[in-house]
Structure formats: C-alpha cells, structure tokens
C-alpha cells in the first residue's frame, strides 16, 4: 500500500556474510560454511535448512546485487555494543562472537548496515524503491489488494481498492509481499498466541492480509500456512533477564533469555547496571532507550526496591564480581571485554518502559515481537498448498511467507531473507 512498509521503519540491518567485500575490508575472513554453521543453529529448531544453505552460499552475490542497486555500506567496523549504532559504520557483530555460537562456528561479524546513524531502513528502502522504479515498471501506491483473481486454477491477478473505487490488476503471476500478521489479533490467537498482549515490531499494517487473501482464494487445495513452530517464530525481543540474577549478557544471550522468559507472562525482568551515576548520565539507545528506574548503593537496597530476595541477590552479585575481577563469567559467559565488577552503586532498568510500549501512556511488557511464519513456499517462492502442490501463478516472499527461520531469530535475517528469496521469487515468476 505504502512504498516501504516495516522495512522502511526498521534498523536496516542485513545479515550477509561468507566473505563480502565489507567483511574483507574490515579484516575478517568468513566462509559460507561458517555462516551456515552459525545460522543453522542460531535460527533454532525447525529452520528451513535448504533455504538457509542457499542463503549462505548466495550471500556474497546478494551483497553485490544490493550494491548494484545503489545500496551503500561503509567498509568500517562498529565495535561498540549499541543495538543501533549512532555511527555510519557498515559492519557489526550480531551475536556470532558470543557463546555458544563462537564455539560452533568461526565467528565473523555479518551485520551490514547503511551509512546513517541509528536506523538505516528508510535509506535502504528509498534506494531499493528508486532502483525498482526504473523505466517500464509501474508502481501503484495507496492501493489495497483485496483478493486474488483465479482462473482455471491459476492466479492471474489481484482485485484492489483505491480511494473507495474497485480496481483489478492482471498479471501472469502474483508475488505476495504484504508483510507479517503481528497486527492481526485473530491470526495471533490462532497461530502465535504467545505474542498476544505484547508490543508489536511493525509499521502497524502487518495485518496478514496477503496470507488471508491466499487462503481465501477459491480453489481445491488451500495454501499451507507454515506453522511448523506455530507461526510463533517471533523476534526482536526486549526482555533481558530475570530478577535476582545478573548483568547484561551479550546480545544473543539476551535473545535466548527472552525466549525463555517470555512465556512466563508480564513479570518484569530488570537488567542491571553497575554504578548508577554513570548509567543515569548515559541514557543512550543501548539501554532500550530508557533510563534506570531504580538506583541504590547496595545490592540489598536494590533488592528491596525490586521486591526480590535480598540475600540471594547479594550473593549472586558478589559471586559475579569475584569472577569479573579475574576476567571470568562462568555463570553467563559474558565476553571478557565487557566484564566489569558491579561497584559504585547499582541501577536497574524496567524494560516495560523501553521500545514498543503498548501505548504512550500504558507501559509495555518488556517484550515485543513480529511474526516469521507465513505462506509455505519453496526456495523459489512458489506458494505450496496444504497437500504440497505448487499453486500455479502464486508466489510469496518476506514475512508473508515462511522464510528460512526456525524458532529463533537473528537481526538482519528478515530484510536479508526477504530480499534474497524475494529476488528468487521474482525471477521464477517472471520466467513462468
């Protein structure tokens, strides 16, 4: 409908590797095999390994295609910890160097991003939309596709509404790229109930309309909505850790923890920061965009504020501090570069106040997600029916389709697999 969807709102990170020119320029060697070993584990159980393999082995080519479309990525490495760097650096780590993944595959940074501070999604989409709008390509905006046109069992176009008027568009085939369904409460209840009541990582228009359109088409075999893992392959999590335990784990560990904590409901989980004075003045987006809500001079005082058992909490802090002095973290395996004893006062954040609250006045739950399941597709984007047949003329890509993900997510793989498998779907549709 609009020109850029959730993609334009996004951080703009693309998960690319296997030895891209940016990785090489920053001094990292990487292989498709290492990328596959990492992703096939990190994307969790039920990942589509055929798609993961194609994605990893086609990643350098995909990077070069993006560059040929005008996408600019600076050959400089961001070594900090912010989720969205306030720099123009083009490369960053996305959990590859955190345990257990650094023990599974040789780590290499694979987060590729555009040359603007913070979110780079708008720039990415402006560039790709400008490239796609080359002569001969007609782009219809403010037009809502409402149903598929099916003739003799083949999808041959879409019906649509524009400014209150009905229109129809005929084509040899249709590629659905209408995004996910996190904004559709009924679909969440049916396929991803664990996301109900939490924040939504979307532009507000991820209403599943493309998936519903495909399901509503009049044909013998309805399409298969892939919920191998319950369509609940939710991502972009904010819940960091449980009360009574300890400090900021690496980005990826945080994701794993949030998956663990999220089913417990809305009980607050509060990340900790040593030296609350420093924490208060920092206030950057590396801390979920929020300032500490609690500050105390001792673990016991902080525990009282947080209503958690004081002695267990104080013992955990003391044990963590003892190990941190020696550059070790047997409890959480935090990278030694970031290990600091928690001294000089403690602060705690309330992640419910951070990104994606449910409204401006009501705090969120500390967790927000989007959906990664969708129409079941082949690696070439064909939508499959419930009986595994290709539906003639119907293709899908992006979050309207089931991509390569399993039950977990790595930042950059949504824009990554959307563009990668979108190209494949477009090529196959054009060839058909």
Ligand X SMILES: Cc1cc2nc3c(=O)[nH]c(=O)nc-3n(C[C@H](O)[C@H](O)[C@H](O)COP(=O)(O)OP(=O)(O)OC[C@H]3O[C@@H](n4cnc5c(N)ncnc54)[C@H](O)[C@@H]3O)c2cc1C
Binding site for ligand X (CB under 6 A): 1-2, 4-7, 9-13, 144-145, 177-179, 201-203, 205-206, 209-210, 370, 398-400, 411-416, 418
Q: Is 343 helix (H, G, I), strand (E, B) or coil?
A: coil
CB of 205 to ligand X, least distance (A): 5
Q: Which residues pair with 112 in a beta bridge?
A: 14, 91
CB of 7 to ligand X, least distance (A): 3
Pick the closest to residue 285 from 82, 117, 90, 93 (CA basis). Answer: 82
The beta-carbon contacts of 34-40 under 8 Å, at least 24 apart in sequence, are 34/105, 34/106, 34/107, 34/108, 35/59, 35/105, 35/108, 35/110, 37/104, 37/105, 38/96, 38/101, 38/104, 38/105, 38/107, 39/15, 39/404, 39/410, 39/413
C-alpha dihedral, 20 to 25 to 26 to 31, nearest 10°: 30
CB of 194 to ligand X, least distance (A): 18
SS3 of 199-258: the string is: EECCCCCCCCHHHHHHHHCCCCCCECEECCCCCCCCCCCCCCCCCCCCCCCCHHHHHHHH
Pick between residue 178 and residue 253 the one whose CB is nearest to ligand X: 178
Pick between residue 124 and residue 269 the one whose CB is nearest to ligand X: 124
Contact between 409 and 372 under an 8 Å Cβ cutoff? The reply is: yes
Contact between 128 and 5 under an 8 Å Cβ cutoff? The reply is: no
**Would you state the structure tokens that stand for residue 303, as one six-digit string?**
């525990």
Containing H/E element for 348?
strand 346-348
- List, in order, residues 6 or more apart from 29 with CB less than 8 Å away: 19, 23, 108
Q: Is 101 helix (H, G, I), strand (E, B) or coil?
A: helix
CA–CA separation, 204 and 206 (whole Å): 6
CB of 412 to ligand X, least distance (A): 5
Pick between residue 279 and residue 373 the one whose CB is nearest to ligand X: 373
- What distance, in Å, lies between the first and last C-alpha atoms of the chain? 25
CB of 246 to ligand X, least distance (A): 28
Pick between residue 179 and residue 249 the one whose CB is nearest to ligand X: 179
**Within a 10 A sphere around the Cβ of 430, how many other Cβ atoms?**
10
Pick between residue 173 and residue 321 the one whose CB is nearest to ligand X: 173
- List, in order, residues 6 or more apart from 237 with CB less than 8 Å away: 254, 255, 258, 259, 262, 367, 368, 369
CB of 421 to ligand X, least distance (A): 10
Pick between residue 20 and residue 413 the one whose CB is nearest to ligand X: 413
CB of 311 to ligand X, least distance (A): 40
CA–CA separation, 230 and 263 (whole Å): 14
Pick between residue 324 and residue 415 the one whose CB is nearest to ligand X: 415
Pick between residue 341 and residue 379 the one whose CB is nearest to ligand X: 379
CB of 233 to ligand X, least distance (A): 11
CB-hemisphere CA count at 13 Å for 246?
A: 24
Pick between residue 249 and residue 416 the one whose CB is nearest to ligand X: 416
CB of 341 to ligand X, least distance (A): 33
Pick between residue 102 and residue 146 the one whose CB is nearest to ligand X: 146
CB of 15 to ligand X, least distance (A): 7
Pick between residue 182 and residue 346 the one whose CB is nearest to ligand X: 182
CB of 423 to ligand X, least distance (A): 12
Contact between 341 and 274 under an 8 Å Cβ cutoff? The reply is: yes
């Amino acid at each position: 409908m609009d020109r850029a969807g959730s993609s334009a709102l996004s951080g703009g990170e693309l998960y690319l590797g296997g030895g891209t020119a940016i990785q090489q320029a920053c001094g990292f060697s990487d292989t498709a095999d290492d990328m596959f070993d990492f992703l096939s584990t990190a994307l969790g159980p039920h990942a589509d390994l055929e798609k993961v393999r194609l994605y990893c082995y086609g990643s350098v080519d995909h990077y070069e295609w993006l560059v040929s479309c005008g996408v600019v990525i600076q050959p400089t490495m961001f070594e900090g910890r912010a989720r969205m760097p306030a720099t123009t650096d083009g490369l960053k780590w996305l959990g590859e160097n955190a345990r257990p993944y650094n023990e599974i595959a040789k780590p290499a940074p694979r987060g590729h991003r555009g040359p603007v501070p913070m979110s780079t999604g708008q720039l990415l989409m402006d560039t790709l939309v400008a490239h796609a709008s080359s002569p001969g390509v007609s782009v219809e905006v403010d037009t809502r596709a409402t149903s598929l046109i099916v003739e003799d069992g083949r999808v041959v176009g879409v019906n649509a509404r524009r400014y209150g008027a009905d229109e129809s568009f005929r084509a040899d085939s249709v590629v659905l790229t209408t995004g996910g369904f996190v904004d559709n409460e009924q679909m969440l209840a049916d396929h991803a109930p664990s996301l109900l009541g939490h924040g939504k990582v979307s532009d507000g228009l991820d209403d599943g309309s493309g998936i519903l359109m495909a399901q509503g088409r009049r044909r013998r075999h309805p399409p298969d909505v892939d919920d191998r893992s319950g369509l609940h392959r939710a991502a972009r999590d904010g819940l960091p850790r449980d009360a009574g335990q300890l400090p900021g784990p690496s980005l990826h560990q945080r994701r794993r923890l949030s998956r663990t904590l999220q089913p417990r409901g809305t009980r607050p989980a509060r990340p900790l920061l040593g030296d609350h004075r420093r924490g208060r003045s920092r206030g950057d987006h590396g801390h979920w965009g929020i300032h500490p809500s609690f500050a105390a001079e001792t673990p016991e005082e902080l525990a009282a504020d947080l209503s958690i058992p004081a002695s267990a909490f104080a013992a955990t802090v003391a044990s963590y501090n003892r190990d941190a002095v020696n550059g070790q973290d047997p409890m959480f395996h935090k990278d030694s570069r970031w290990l600091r004893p928690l001294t000089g006062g403690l602060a705690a954040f309330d992640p419910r106040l951070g990104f994606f609250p449910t409204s401006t006045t009501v705090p969120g739950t500390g967790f927000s997600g989007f959906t990664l399941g969708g129409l079941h597709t082949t690696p070439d984007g064909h939508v499959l029916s419930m009986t595994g047949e290709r539906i003639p003329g119907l293709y899908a890509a992006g979050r309207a389709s089931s991509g390569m993900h399993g039950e977990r997510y790595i930042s950059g793989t949504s824009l990554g697999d959307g563009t990668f498998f979108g190209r494949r779907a477009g090529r196959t549709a054009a060839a058909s």
